[in-house]
Chain A
Amino acid sequence: MEDLIVLKNLRKVYKMGDEKIVALNDINLNIARREFICLIGTSGSGKSTLLNMMAGLEKPTKGEIIINNLHIEKMSEKDVTKFRQLNIGFVFQSYNLISTLSAMENVSLGLTFKGVPKSKRDKMAKKMLENVGLGNRLHHKPQELSGGQQQRVSIARAFVDNPKIVFADEPTGNLDTKTSFEVMDLITGMARENSQTLIIVTHDTEIADYANRVVYLRDGSIERIHQNEIVRGGKSR
């Protein structure tokens, strides 16, 4: 399979006063198109930093990030923003919905910045919310929705423009077990349907069962990579 994401000798050092904290050390990883990757590790293992770097939210201290043959680490903030707009969807642990906007407005916000006309983006947002099972909650504000529902809105927002890659940072971190599995089924199902690459950060080993490969991180280094023979939720494949 062709490699969509290539990480070479990635290193990230944070400076805190005089102290240097090595968050990532010499990471090498290739991720193929349509692959589901799970980054797993304890807190402080550097998994979130790695995710943020792949999404262009943080710059590495050293090393290369090549996505779709483009060097992300060399791009200006303007170009990274453009790149993100075109290629990347994001799901957060704390949903990060805008509280003053309705579910539909939240989903269509990214399309707004892209310059999609209102009638078209409303249609897309509505369809997406129906897909995540919130067809009857279109005009609810985030605070009127449960945690699971909010995360579904967030997923709808990430997938609405059919991005090439979807990053999910602890998407189930704030949810109970049952809802967690529902949300995971939803994310993986949609990614599979649209042939998207999915990268999930979690510390939950059960969530890792959904991935093709599980990358175990420890103290900023890749400890091991585990290939899942049977993928959970894969029955819909």
Chain B
Amino acid sequence: MTSIDLIRMGIKNLWRRKLRTFLTVLGVIIGTTSIIVMLSLGFGLSQSFENQIAQWGSLTTINVYPKWQDPSMPAGQKVNLDDKAVSAFKLIPNVSAVSPIVETYGAIINGRYVAQVPIRGIDPDVMEEFGFEIVEGRLLESSDELTVVFGGGIKQNFYDPNARIWREVKVDLMKDRMSLTLNPNYGYDVPGPNTPTYKEYKIKTAGVLNEENWDTSYAAYMPLHEVQKLIKEKEKAENIKPQPGQAKDQYQQINIKVNKIDNVQEVQQTIKDMGHEAYSLNDQLESMKNTAKIIQAVLGGIGAVSLLVAAIGITNTMVMSIYERTKEIGVMKVIGASLKDIRSLFLFESALIGLLGGILGVAFSFLISFIVNKFSGSFGNYFGLGPEAKLSIIPIWLVFAAMAFSALIGILSGYYPARRAMNLSALDAIRSE
């Protein structure tokens, strides 16, 4: 029997019991739809988690901190976060950029307005690689002196320390003349005998970063060596001598950019193995993703129940069909249908029911997904996922997987009935009425 005849005959057989075929297919449609929609909710959740975390900072950045070490440990065994470590990190595979971060706090003075901000020193050459996005001006260059790139959110930090009532603060980070001081108490009178005198530096603005990234939005960035210089001058003013126990040239933090999100875990582990503390937002993403996966599994399980019911429906339909067609099967056997022909015919019919249900189920799922997303704005707010969050996402692979899976379900459900049809005795079948 040729495939084309098999297909023609199978379709004809399904068509002659339109209502029953339709109802069975409907079962599969509902089953497939419920699985797809449930899974799509999981994907949506996972995606919103990812978006949310991406707002906190880059997912491909690893922050390395010095590990607490016993001070009595001999100096040779200590793991230092210094320039040597920086060069070592650069050699780790999949690392695309490394920059030490030096951080201090200072006040930006803009006329009568002041903003207290963290001042971070970074290697200007790797800013772009770390994903700093400029909305105005340019990024830092290594030749810059007393030049700052501001986080976009800083303009909201300015206030007038002498104001009695609140007035709207108008500053233009790009154009206004500003100066910087590392005086932690700038604008306040601090009682005490000998308050150190801090320098005020006139600064130039190179650029302003976008506000999307919460990590960079509220800090001022300067070239690494500049910040190191400022800190030294501050320590001098405060008359602080370097602590004897602390090694020189130690960094408080080194940031590492990894080329791909999939490699973050591995690089992070390598760094931990070198004896440093390493964190990334990926850690949180992993745990949130696991949560999303569990929710998805539960939802998918609920969906799977209805597909199971649909599968039983297919089996039932095919068994009924065999009872009806017993005589026909017998006749076909006597006039030359091979066992394989009979089995193929029934398997094809049930696979077709499954596939048809799968295709229509996918179409129906997109409709439901569309409706869910249409109303998900308010849901999104409710869950704190933001108004643009899509609650239901159907990846393209799921479309094909669902169709293939429903066809497979059809074949599996049809297997028992097909075997039964195949093993019918031709003689008994012919005699049956």
User: A residues within 8 Å of B by Cβ?
Assistant: 52, 55, 57-58, 77-78, 81-82, 84-85, 90, 92, 96-98, 100, 109-110, 112-115, 117-118, 157
| A–B complex contacts, Cβ < 8 Å, 8 sampled | A57-B334, A78-B338, A85-B336, A92-B430, A96-B330, A98-B332, A109-B335, A113-B338
Q: Is B2 an interface residue, CB under 8 A from the partner?
A: yes
Instruction: Name the A residues within 8 Å of B328 (CB-CB).
Output: 98
Q: Does B426 contact A (CB under 8 A)?
A: yes
Least distance between B428 CB and chain A CB atoms (Å): 10
- A98-B332, A113-B337, A118-B5 known; 7 other A-B pairs, CB under 8 Å? A78-B339, A81-B337, A81-B339, A96-B330, A112-B5, A113-B332, A113-B335
The interface centre, meaning the residue of A96, A98, A113, A115 with most chain B CB atoms within 10 A of its CB, is A113
Question: Are B430 and A112 neighbours in the complex by a CB distance under 8 Å?
Answer: no
Interface flags for B70-100 (1: CB within 8 Å of A; 0: not) read 0000000000000000000000000000000
Give the tally of cross-chain contacts (CB within 8 A): 57
Q: B1 — which chain A residues lie within 8 A by C-beta?
A: 112-115
Answer yes or no: B333 CB below 8 A from chain A CBs. yes
Find out whether the CB atom of B338 lies under 8 angstroms from the CB atom of A112: no
| Nearest CB in chain A to that of B340: its residue | A78
A97 CA / B430 CA spacing, docked (Å): 11
B124-151 near A? 1/0 per residue, CB < 8 Å: 0000000000000000000000000000
CB <8 Å contact, B336 and A110: yes
Tally chain B residues at the interface, Cβ within 8 Å: 23
B334 partner residues in chain A, CB cutoff 8 A? 55, 57, 84, 90, 96
Report A142 CB to chain B, min CB distance, Å: 11
B9 neighbours in A (Cβ, 8 Å):
112
Residues A90 and B2 in contact, CB atoms below 8 Å apart: no
Known: A57-B426, A96-B327, A96-B430. A115 touches B2 (CB 8 A): yes
Instruction: Report the bound CA distance from A57 to B1 in whole Å.
Output: 21
B16 within 8 A of A: yes
Structural contact, B332 and A82, CB atoms closer than 8 A:
no
Nearest chain A CB to B240's CB is how many angstroms away?
A: 95
Find chain A residues with CB under 8 A from B160 CB.
Answer: none
Residues of chain A contacted by B327 (CB below 8 angstroms): 96
User: Given A78-B338, A81-B338, does the pair A117, B2 have CB atoms closer than 8 Å?
Assistant: yes
Q: Which residues of B contact A52 (CB under 8 A)?
A: 427
With the chains together, A98 CA to B337 CA distance in Å? 14
Contact B16 A100 (CB under 8 A): yes
A95 to chain B, nearest CB (A): 10
A residues less than 8 Å from B337 (CB atoms): 81, 113
Cβ of B427: which chain A residues have Cβ within 8 Å of it? 52, 57-58
A113 and B336 form a contact (CB under 8 A): yes
Q: In this complex, what residue of A is CB-closest to B433?
A: A94
Bound-state CA distance A85–B339 (Å) is 12
Taking the nearest CB of chain B, how far is it from the CB of A194, in angstroms? 17
A98 to B330, CA, bound (A): 10
- CB of B335 within 8 A of CB of A82, answer no
A164 CB, nearest partner CB in chain B, Å? 14
Per-position binary interface string of chain B over residues 420-433, scored 1 when its CB falls under 8 Å from any chain A CB and 0 otherwise: 00000011001000
> Contact at A84–B336, with CB atoms within 8 Å?
yes
**If A58-B427, A96-B327, A100-B16 touch, does A110 touch B5 (CB 8 Å cutoff)?**
no
Chain B residues close to A by CB (< 8 Å): 1-2, 4-5, 9, 12, 16, 327-328, 330-339, 341, 426-427, 430
Q: Closest chain B residue to A52 by CB distance?
A: B427
Residue of A nearest to B338 (CB): A81
In the complex where A52-B427, A100-B16 touch, is A109 in contact with B332 (Cβ < 8 A)?
A: yes
Residue among B9, B339, B426, B427 facing the most chain A CB atoms (10 A cut-off): B426
| Contact partners of B332 in chain A: CB under 8 A | 98, 109, 113
Which one, B4, B335, B338, B341, contacts A90 given CB within 8 A?
B335
Tell me the complex Cα distance, A50–B1, Å: 30
A96 touches which of B5, B331, B339 (Cβ 8 Å): B331
- Complex Cα distance, B215 from A173, in Å, reads 94
Alpha-carbon gap, A55 to B335, bound state (A):
11
The answer for the CA separation of A113 and B9 in the assembled complex, in Å, is 11
Chain B's nearest CB lies how many Å from the CB of A91?
11
Could you tell me the distance between the alpha carbons of A81 and B339 in the complex, rounded to whole angstroms? 8
Distance A96 CA – B2 CA, assembled complex (angstroms): 24
B321 to chain A, nearest CB (A): 12
Q: A58's closest neighbor in chain B, by CB?
A: B427
Taking a contact as CB atoms under 8 Å apart, the answer to whether B333 and A81 are in contact is yes
Cβ A114 vs Cβ B336 within 8 A: yes
CB of A106, distance to nearest CB on chain B (Å): 9
CA distance A68 to B393 in the complex (A): 67
Say how far B115's CB is from chain A's closest CB, in angstroms: 84
Return the contact of A81 from the options B2, B12, B331, B336 (Cβ within 8 A). B336
Contacts of A77 in B (CB 8 A): 339
CA distance A157 to B331 in the complex (A): 11
Minimum Cβ distance to chain A for residue B270 (Å): 61
Q: Decide if A113 touches B341 in the complex (CB within 8 Å).
A: yes
**Complexed CA–CA distance, A135 and B375 (Å):** 65
Among B16, B328, B335, B337, max chain A CB count under 10 A is at B335
On chain B, the residues within 8 Å of A81 by CB distance are 333, 336-339
Kindly provide the distance from the CB of B43 to the nearest chain A CB, expressed in whole angstroms. 45
A77 to B336 Cα, complex, angstroms = 11
Alpha-carbon distance between A57 and B335 when the two chains are bound, in angstroms = 11
Point out the residues of chain A lying under 8 angstroms from B333, CB to CB: 81
Roughly how many angstroms separate A97 CA and B335 CA in the complex, as a whole number?
11
Q: Give the most central of B327, B336, B341, B426: most A CB within 10 Å.
A: B336
Whether A110 and B339, one on each chain, are in contact in the complex, defined by CB atoms closer than 8 angstroms, is no
